[in-house]
Chain A
Amino acid sequence: MKRSGVDLLVGLFVLLGFGALVFLALRAGNMSSAVGLGPTYETTARFDNIGGLKPRAAVRSAGVVVGRVSAIRFDDKAYQAEVVLALDQRYRFPKDSSVKILTSGLLGEQYIGLEPGGDPELLAAGDRITMTQSAVVLESLIGQFLYGRASEEGGK
């Protein structure tokens, strides 16, 4: 086979293969949403219990992804979890916004829900969000329910 013929076929093969890889990563996988946030600014928030929150979990406001969790640390002075949120620079939130840890669906992955407050001053990079609500822990809920029932019965 001629030199140029072989080169052409091999080149085609390599291009097809890389094309398949790109297709798998972008169209079949979540690379475009995981990496495509653009420039972000970081804010922190402290929680008593983060439940099953993982790094790279979504930060949603009104259901739309506005950022990602970039790091989760433990603060051993306040004995709380410190979560670093990387928020998209296009969206600015008031300083008194609140964050909650919510679950998508009934037993799905946990994400952070960001609700805007009413403060005219906006969050800047490095600020801390003070109003936080920890994740719902199923065991505590069950414990609360049983305790409530027991005290009800006991009072009769």
Chain B
Amino acid sequence: MRTLLLPLQWLVEFVGSVGKGARFFVHLCWLAVAALRRPRLVIDQIHFIGNYSLSIILVSGLLIGFVLGLQGYYTLRRYGSEEALGVLVTLSLVRELGPVVTALLFAGRAGTSLTAEVGLMKAGEQIDAMEMMAVDPVARVLAPRFAAAVFSMPLLAALFSALGVLGGYLVGVAMIGIDAGAFWSQMQAGVDWLDDVGNGVAKSVVFGFTVAFVALYVGFNAQPTPEGVARATTTTVVAASLAILGLDFVMTALMFSAN
């Protein structure tokens, strides 16, 4: 009888934890808006989360642009359509690679640091100390980080895509010798600012919410020991990455299948 009830128990626990997570998410969103009234906190966090991610995002964007340019050229050359390289590189970046790769790198770089920071604060009893002083730790510590992450993600994704386009240009036009005019004019004709760039920005905003929520939730509920923090950072990267890829599929199906 006991063993029959076990799956039911797991189901109840699972649904309960989903509810707990949803409540946490709504609470965070609400407090994040309130945190904007204390811009100093948010600006500091944008510095830690956004500025410190710049080096990896910019360099990765440029390198991925280089690779897209090369691979795209080799394939297009077989069909005599080398001049479509601009459209190929830009659409790949703006629709998919920009938001997704940026989000994955962001989860690895900023997500883990957020989780580790919050987990260590919990391990060091700083969270409890704040509660003792009647300071809401979620509002003081978590909400500014949430707001900063959601704000930084779209900017980082745009920088990634822009540098990728530049990388494709450097490889295609400067290195290989495709006509620059054809590169830019076909790109401008083929990339729609709302349907392609706009959808990419929407995706990156959703990914920002995802990474921030996963990182902060896992950190806040980590075991307050060094091992617990280490396991929490792993959980953040794995869970955030899978969530990003899953949400990317859903959003792509919603946004781009209408044509």
Chain A residues close to B by CB (< 8 Å)? 6-7, 9-10, 13-14, 16-18, 20-21, 23-34
Would you call B201 and A21 a contact (CB within 8 A)? Answer: yes
| B97 in contact (CB, < 8 A) | no
Residues of A within 8 A of B43 (CB): 6-7, 10
What are 19 pairs between A and B in contact, CB < 8 Å? A13-B47, A13-B54, A13-B152, A17-B158, A17-B159, A20-B155, A20-B158, A21-B197, A21-B201, A23-B162, A24-B162, A25-B197, A27-B188, A28-B162, A28-B188, A29-B193, A30-B191, A30-B193, A33-B188
Would you call A17 and B154 a contact (CB within 8 A)? Answer: yes
| B46 in contact (CB, < 8 A) | yes
Residues of A within 8 A of B51 (CB): 9-10, 13
How far apart are A117's CB and chain B's nearest CB, in angstroms?
30
Q: Is the interface of A mostly helix, strand, loop or mixed?
A: helix
How far apart are A55's CB and chain B's nearest CB, in angstroms?
12
Would you call A20 and B162 a contact (CB within 8 A)? Answer: yes
Would you call B44 and A30 a contact (CB within 8 A)? Answer: no
Residues of B within 8 A of A10 (CB): 43, 46-47, 50-51
Residues of A within 8 A of B193 (CB): 24-26, 29-31, 34
Residues of B within 8 A of A24 (CB): 94, 158, 161-162, 165, 193, 197
| B13 in contact (CB, < 8 A) | no
How far apart are B168's CB and chain A's nearest CB, in angstroms?
10
Q: Is the interface of B mostly helix, strand, loop or mixed?
A: helix
A28 to B90, CA, bound (A): 7
Residues of B within 8 A of A9 (CB): 47, 51
A24 to B184, CA, bound (A): 12
Given contacts A17-B154, A27-B188, 4 further A-B contacts (CB under 8 A): A24-B158, A24-B161, A30-B188, A30-B192
Residues of A within 8 A of B211 (CB): none
Would you call B155 and A18 a contact (CB within 8 A)? Answer: yes
Digit string of B38-66 for contact with A (CB within 8 Å is 1, else 0)? 00000110110011001000000000000
Which residues of chain B from 193 to 209 have a CB within 8 Å of any chain A CB?
193-194, 196-197, 201
How far apart are A21's CB and chain B's nearest CB, in angstroms?
4
Name B161's closest neighbour in chain A (CB-CB): A24
Would you call A28 and B155 a contact (CB within 8 A)? Answer: no
Name B45's closest neighbour in chain A (CB-CB): A10
| B250 in contact (CB, < 8 A) | no
Name B58's closest neighbour in chain A (CB-CB): A16
| B189 in contact (CB, < 8 A) | yes
How far apart are B39's CB and chain A's nearest CB, in angstroms?
10
A149 to B22, CA, bound (A): 68
Residues of B within 8 A of A17 (CB): 50, 152, 154-156, 158-159
Between B44, B156, B187, B193, the greatest number of chain A beta carbons within 10 A of the residue's beta carbon is seen for: B193
Digit string of B13-56 for contact with A (CB within 8 Å is 1, else 0)? 00000000000000000000000000000011011001100100
Residues of B within 8 A of A16 (CB): 155, 159
How far apart are A10's CB and chain B's nearest CB, in angstroms?
5
Name A18's closest neighbour in chain B (CB-CB): B155
List 6 A-B pairs, minimum CB-CB distance, nearest first.
Answer: A17-B155, A29-B193, A31-B193, A20-B162, A20-B158, A21-B158
Between B43, B152, B154, B187, the greatest number of chain A beta carbons within 10 A of the residue's beta carbon is seen for: B43
How far apart are B167's CB and chain A's nearest CB, in angstroms?
13
How far apart are A150's CB and chain B's nearest CB, in angstroms?
37
How far apart are B11's CB and chain A's nearest CB, in angstroms?
43
Residues of B within 8 A of A20 (CB): 155, 158-159, 161-163
